[in-house]
Chain A
Amino acid sequence: MKRTLAVAALATVAFAGAAEARDQIRIVGSSTVFPFASKVVEQYGKTTSFKTPVIESTGSGGGFKLFCAGVGVDHPDITNASRAIKSSEVETCAKNGVNKITEITIGFDGIVVADAKNGPTFNVSRKDLYLALAKTVPDPKGGDKLVPNPYKTWKDVNASLPANEIEVLGPPPTSGTRDAFTELVMDAGCAEFPALKALSKSDPKAFQAACQGIREDGAYIEAGENDTLIVNKLVENTKALGIFGYSFLDQNADKIKGAHIDGVAPTFENISSGKYPVSRPLFFYVKGEHVGVIPGIKEYVAEFTSEAAIGADGYLPQIGLIPLTADKLKAAKDAGKALPTNVK
């Protein structure tokens, strides 16, 4: 009792000193955007007179949860996301008084399927990846019935692939990379089966259940959120494949190589031009209610949307961000200047 009282008393004393206005921007959100945003934050902190903002890597979903929790110094000003805000999240925001949200697209991230440099060359289609990784697949003997995934090797999936056992290291379900992979690869691969494609129109929930489940029999290994770890494991095990963001392939090109997906190699140019099928836009969201209250938000957004940061020769593309096309870049810069309420 004594202990609790003492702690409570101390906390109250500290609270009195800490509740004053905040003079530092607080950012939360996606772990994919985190390395890019932290670079901007550093640049901003060194070149302006404002304090360096604080960024927490909470994941896209966790970021929206904190962002939408309310208006005021206790709540973050900006959240980064590797997916667009969902309508349910917009509703939560509105319920808590967050109505002026600006969405700004900053670039693209490619999701690559890679293996060790001296491993076999993979040239897979999204259908192959779906068949290799889904929990249930259409019966290989024919018919539309879904059966538990019977495929053991890549050769079983597609005769042109090597006869290696299927072994893929990838992100866990909490990761935004996993969400994007499910949406861009599994759904697309799934939709190549006419019966399932029909299902996606008639019963989207059943389609999701059939297509988005990832097998749990050991062929897909959840390797945590640490992509460096996946890269190291690929070097040790040349038969395994790994799924992670493009920047890790870019930094480790001497150790690993990216598989061609639908015949397209995961290169900077292919992702940027949209040829590479597995890429997603990256965003950040600004809380309009905080602009002008928390000092420096406008300047931070201006730094993030500047040519020097996200332009084709900017410092973010140098660390693996895939830059926007010219018209989208202009749109991002304009949104960065005007901060319109463009999320409803």
Chain B
Amino acid sequence: MSEMTVEPGQGGARTRALVAAGIGRRYRAERRFRLFGLVAIVSALVFMALLFASIIGKGYTAFVQTEIRLPISYDVAVIDPDGVRDAAEMRRANYGKLYRDGIQSLFPTVESRNDRRLLNGLVSSGATFEIRDAVISSPDLIGKKAEIWVPASDDVDMLVKGRVDRNEPEGTRRVTDKEIAWVDALQKDGRLESRFNWRFFTQGDSREPELAGIWGAVAGSFLTMLVTLVLSFPLGVATAVYLEEFAPKNRWTDVIEVNINNLAAIPSIVFGLLGLAVFLQFFGLPRSAPLVGGLVLTLMTLPTIIIAARVSLKSVPPSIREAALGLGASKMQMVTNDVLPLAMPGILTGTIIGMGRALGETAPLLMIGMVAFIVDIPHGFTDPATALPVQIYIWADSAERAFVERTSAAIMVLLAFLIVMNAAAVILRSRFERRW
């Protein structure tokens, strides 16, 4: 306390001297701190840019697919030998022969059996089913000749997209010299083109990269998220409102609060195990169903929503509540008419962020059988389904090179969904949030 009693002038000089001596150090410390912050942000941005560049660089080519225009003669003898136009009978016809005849008619000089097989291999085996579907949907094609675009095989696709090195010696290349010559000839005739890959957005999974699509996974994710939203939003908000507005503050509510906070930090695989034990083994719900996936993800998302909702309810000033009660509103009316609407932007933001996290989860789905190869598009909550991140995982683990670009393209689709959801959260917050 001795400084306090010293004369002001003297003490001031001393303080000034002390400040002057330290000021350089303090400024340096501040500059260092700002530099660290800047470096942290810049490196985060650089890594994000690298991530995006790598994903987009690998994936953008998946949005186009190499297709071949084949002349097909829809031979009555092959499709409908009895001439009765029976749909079931027509589905079983040998459509593979039609496309093989088509490609061979373009290269009549190819005769040996092995070369012909190689030539047939330029076209995806999926051509069989596309020709079949064309015939079933318009039976007047039968007996006529027409040109049809069918997908090329994944090796041809990779060649056209420059992912197969033509300078590589033939022995270690996926595509032989003969095949390259045929592809070049087709390209010169205008029979080979890169066209928009609609299959990628409309088909389910496939072992053939050129036929594989994400629609099955998107539909599965949508159904799962719908179940999660419908269950977790009302439950989460109701829990938060009760705990915040009605529940007495005693040891029990403290215990519940601590438990909810702990649940938010539990690794997601644990929820998967819980789902396996409770929903599958105890309730006997079907495996791989979006219903069960949604239930498991609800358990995972609930704590996030409850915590976010409680924080937003807390941030509504007490004066609003008091005013409502003072005007004669019941507690229920106060909550539903005044407090909840004001807290809603924050609650919705928390919900969207929780849903975003749930959308990207694979671990809990592993235990309940949603990590699976599923071709059919799910139409209901108990149909077997998979989810977008699972689809990415399955493709990333496939040997065919063409799945690399599809993996990246699926990541782009998932990221697009997440960005849209987060943007919605940001917009909701900035539009409707009220500051006091």
Residue numbers of A with Cβ under 8 A of B are 2-3, 6-7, 10-12, 14-15, 17-19, 22, 24, 26, 31, 34-35, 38-39, 41-42, 45-47, 49, 51-52, 54-57, 74, 117, 225-228, 245, 247-248, 250-254, 257, 313, 315, 319-320
The reply to whether A11 and B295 contact each other, CB–CB distance below 8 Å, is yes
Closest residue to B372 on the A side, CB-wise?
A56
Interface pair A252/B401, CB less than 8 Å apart: yes
What residues of A have a CB within 8 angstroms of the CB of B235 in the complex?
2-3, 6-7
If A38-B207, A226-B396, A228-B399 touch, does A12 touch B174 (CB 8 Å cutoff)? no
Give me 10 other A-B pairs in contact (C-beta within 8 A), A3-B235, A251-B174 excluded.
A19-B284, A31-B397, A42-B375, A45-B376, A227-B399, A228-B396, A250-B399, A254-B168, A254-B172, A320-B399
Stretch at the interface among B23-31, B70-78, B285-293: B285-293
Contact A225 B284 (CB under 8 A): no
Residue of A whose beta carbon sits closest to that of B230: A10
B171 nearest CB neighbor, chain A only: A253
CB distance from A289 to the nearest CB of B (A): 18
CA distance A41 to B286 in the complex (A): 20
A34, A227, A313: residue with the most chain B Cβ atoms closer than 10 Å: A34
User: Nearest residue in A to B235 (C-beta to C-beta)?
Assistant: A3
Residues A54 and B374 in contact, CB atoms below 8 Å apart = yes
Contact between A54 and B288, CB atoms less than 8 A apart: yes
Whether the pair A57, B125 counts as a contact (CB closer than 8 A) is no
Closest beta carbon of chain A to B275's beta carbon, Å: 10
Name the distance in Å between A43's Cβ and chain B's nearest Cβ.
8
* B164 with A254: CB separation less than 8 A: yes
**Which 4 A/B pairs are nearest by Cβ-Cβ distance?**
A38-B373, A39-B207, A52-B375, A56-B372
Bound CA span A319–B400, Å: 8
B149 within 8 A of A: no
Chain B residue total in the interface (Cβ 8 A): 53
Contacts from B to A (Cβ < 8 Å): 88, 92, 117, 125, 129, 164-165, 168, 171-174, 206-208, 231, 235, 238-239, 242, 278-280, 283-289, 291, 295, 298-299, 302, 369, 371-376, 381-382, 384, 394, 396-401, 404
Please name the residue on chain A nearest to B280 by beta carbon: A74
How many inter-chain residue pairs (CB < 8 Å) link A and B?
123
Q: List 24 A-B contacts (CB under 8 A).
A: A3-B235, A6-B235, A7-B235, A14-B382, A15-B285, A19-B284, A31-B397, A35-B398, A38-B207, A42-B207, A45-B375, A45-B376, A49-B88, A52-B375, A55-B372, A57-B394, A225-B397, A226-B396, A228-B399, A228-B404, A245-B399, A251-B399, A252-B399, A319-B400
Neighbour of A254 across the interface among B173, B242, B291, B372, CB < 8 A: B173
Contact A57 B382 (CB under 8 A): no
Q: Determine if B373 and A55 form an interchain contact, defined as CB atoms under 8 angstroms apart.
A: yes
- With A55-B373, A74-B284 known as contacts, the answer to whether A117 contacts B129 (CB < 8 A) is no
Q: Collect the chain B residues with CB atoms within 8 Å of residue A52's CB.
A: 374-376
Contact (Cβ within 8 A) B398 A228: yes
Report the separation of the CA atoms of residues A113 and B311 in the bound assembly, to the nearest whole angstrom: 56
List residues of chain A with CB within 8 A of the CB of B92.
47
Query: Given that A12-B283, A24-B384, A254-B174 are contacting pairs, would A248 and B399 also be in contact in the complex, using a CB cutoff of 8 Å?
Result: yes
Looking at the assembled complex, report how far the CB atom of B248 sits from the nearest CB atom of chain A, in whole angstroms. 15
* Cβ-neighbour of A228 out of B285, B299, B384, B397 (below 8 A): B397
Residues of B within 8 A of A320 (CB): 399
Residue of A nearest to B207 (CB): A39
Would B285 and A18 count as touching, CB distance under 8 A? yes
Which residues in B have their C-beta under 8 angstroms from that of A35? 207, 398-399
Question: Once the chains are docked, how many angstroms separate the CA of A250 from the CA of B300?
Answer: 41
Contact B295 A17 (CB under 8 A): no
Check A251 against B231 for contact (C-beta < 8 Å). Answer: no
Q: Given the known A-B contacts A35-B399, A54-B372, are A7 and B298 also in contact in the complex, defined by CB atoms under 8 Å?
A: yes
Q: Kindly identify which residue among A2, A10, A15, A17 contacts B231, using a CB–CB cutoff of 8 Å.
A: A10
Task: Quote the shortest CB–CB distance from B366 to chain A (angstroms).
Answer: 9
Q: Determine if A51 and B397 form an interchain contact, defined as CB atoms under 8 angstroms apart.
A: no
Q: Which residues of B contact A251 (CB under 8 A)?
A: 174, 399-401
Q: Residues of A contacting B398 with CB < 8 Å?
A: 35, 228
- Provide the bound-state CA to CA distance between A57 and B369, in Å: 9
The reply to whether A226 and B207 contact each other, CB–CB distance below 8 Å, is: no
> A250 to B172, alpha carbons, bound, how many Å?
9
How far apart are the CA atoms of A39 and B238 in the complex, in Å? 47
Most interface-central of A17, A18, A22 (chain B CB within 10 A): A18
Q: Do residues A253 and B172 form an inter-chain contact, with CB atoms below 8 A?
A: yes
- Complex Cα distance A248/B381, Å? 36
Chain B residues with CB below 8 A from A253, complex form: 171-174
Bound CA span A196–B234, Å:
66
CB distance from A171 to the nearest CB of B (A): 12
In the complex, A41 Cα to B207 Cα: how many Å?
9
Residue of A26, A49, A117 near B172 (CB, 8 A) is A117
Contact A15 B399 (CB under 8 A): no
* Cβ-closest chain A residue relative to B369: A56
- A115 nearest CB across to chain B (Å): 14
In the bound assembly, the distance between CA atoms of A253 and B401 in angstroms comes to: 11
Q: In the complex, what residues of A have CB within 8 A of residue B288's CB? A: 54, 56
B286 and chain A: residue at smallest CB distance? A18
Tell me the bound Cα distance from A251 to B231 in angstroms: 45
Residue of B nearest to A255 (CB): B172
- Distance between Cα atoms of A250 and B155 in the complex (Å): 13
Given A3-B239, A254-B173, A11-B397 contact (CB < 8 Å): no
Complex contact B174–A15 (CB within 8 A): no
Q: Please, which residues of chain B bring their CB within 8 A of the CB of A26?
A: 287
